[in-house]
Amino acid sequence: MRCLLRLLPLFVLYSCNTIIPDEIVNENNIVYPVADKMDIKELLYVDKIGVYDSLICFINRNTEPIFYVYDEDFLYKGSFGMEGHGPYDFQFPFFLNTENQDGILPVYDVNSASFKSIDIEKALESKTEFLTTCKMPSYLIGSPNLTMMDDSCFIGNIDSGQGLFFVSQSRLGSVEWIEFPKILQRPKKDFTVMNMNRIVVNSQSRVIISAMGYYNLLFLYDISGTLKKTIQIGENRIEPIVLGEHYISEDNYICCREIVSSGEFVYVMMQTVKEKDFEKIDNAPSRILVFDWGLNYLKTYQLPHYSLTFDVDDLRNRIIYTAFNEEGGTDIYSVEL
């Protein structure tokens, strides 16, 4: 009896550290699409892709201009946006996820802490009044993944944040962090980078899906922050290695750093690459897993290239993605859904 009592705390500790997901997804519906390379002559270093009706916008990082715009057939329309501190300049912009506005490209600039609405037509005509700017609340600064549900509600995350993601009511000046699920590692002090993730939000069904960077795990939440479902991709759990209190091992596997949604589906780009090899051009090809908004697995698109970012062109039923080229820039490819 005394032996059993001594073992009981060990059993409880083991149970807490072996929390299992609600479902393990084995990718049993794999599609091998044909990728068409787009005939783009401009030298691009694409970091983000945004599809807006008949236009495709790229955020270019290593050279200026920052924004490049193409039509639906990938014909070059123009470019704009110089780096600087002036009223019509940019520093480090991201696309703001929100309801499409006719002819307006919504972005936010994390380095200048501002929201910017770009009139694309005026920008391509080099008119100076193409941009309107407003200040970004300080508690939203640093988010690489931000959704505006209406004029007062923002949902996003920060790679070194206080929880998995936050819900902010800007009119109230409040921000609520959703705590990390118990299946993840407990942060040591204020170091939380090992639990970084990317999210998509469905404003109609009021749900949020989170895909983890260093785990092969996805989570489904309702808008109130209640965890509804946890899934694991593959039989073997992938988890990050944390060295000391403030260091991530370069031998960690990166699972997801990009997630995109459409009206009906969620698309998750998964990798098989270590952190130290992240920018090599000969990494194993990426794959894009498709789920419905209930986080039910549907299929996998096995891409023929290693990619860092993509977007879904819902109107034309295709995925647009990037791949490194030998010159150190990025080529653009398209596959049919």
DSSP for 169-186?
ETTTTEEEEEPPPTTSPP
Q: Is 126 exposed, middle or buried (0-12, 13-18, 19+ CB in 10 A)?
A: exposed
Going from the C-alpha of 180 to that of each of 68, 88, 137, 219, 264, the distances in angstroms are: 37, 38, 23, 11, 27
The whole-number average pLDDT for the span 72-84 is 95
Which two structure tokens, joined as six digits, stand for 159? 């790679």
pLDDT band at 172 (very low <50, low <70, confident <90, very high): low
Per-residue pLDDT averaged across 41-65, rounded?
A: 93
What percentage of residues in the chain have a pLDDT greater than 90? 76
Strand 330-336 to 131-135 pairing? unpaired
- Neighbour tally for 29: CB within 10 Å: 11
The three-state secondary structure class of 12 is helix
Contacts of residue 261, defined as CB under 8 A and 6 or more positions apart, other chains included, come to 200, 201, 202, 209, 267, 293, 312
Higher pLDDT, 269 or 3: 269
Q: How far is the C-alpha of 219 from the C-alpha of 208, rounded, in Å?
A: 8
Query: In the structure, what pLDDT confidence band is assigned to residue 34 with cuts at 50, 70 and 90?
Result: very high
pLDDT recorded at residue 312: 97
Mean pLDDT across the chain: 90
Tell me the CA end-to-end span of the chain in Å, nearest whole number: 61
Average pLDDT over residues 244-249: 86
Structure tokens at 122: 């005026």
Per-residue pLDDT at 189: 82
**Residue 293 near residue 264, CB atoms below 8 Å:** yes
Q: Find, among 179, 199, 176, the residue nearest to 187 by Cα.
A: 179
245 alpha carbon, distance to own chain's centre? 26
Averaged pLDDT for residues 4-14: 37
Those residues whose C-beta lies under 8 Å from the C-beta of residue 259, and which sit 6 or more positions away, are 198, 199, 200, 209, 211, 266, 267, 268, 269
The candidate with the shortest Cα–Cα distance to 53, out of 261, 316, 258, is 316
Contact 254, 274 (CB under 8 A): yes
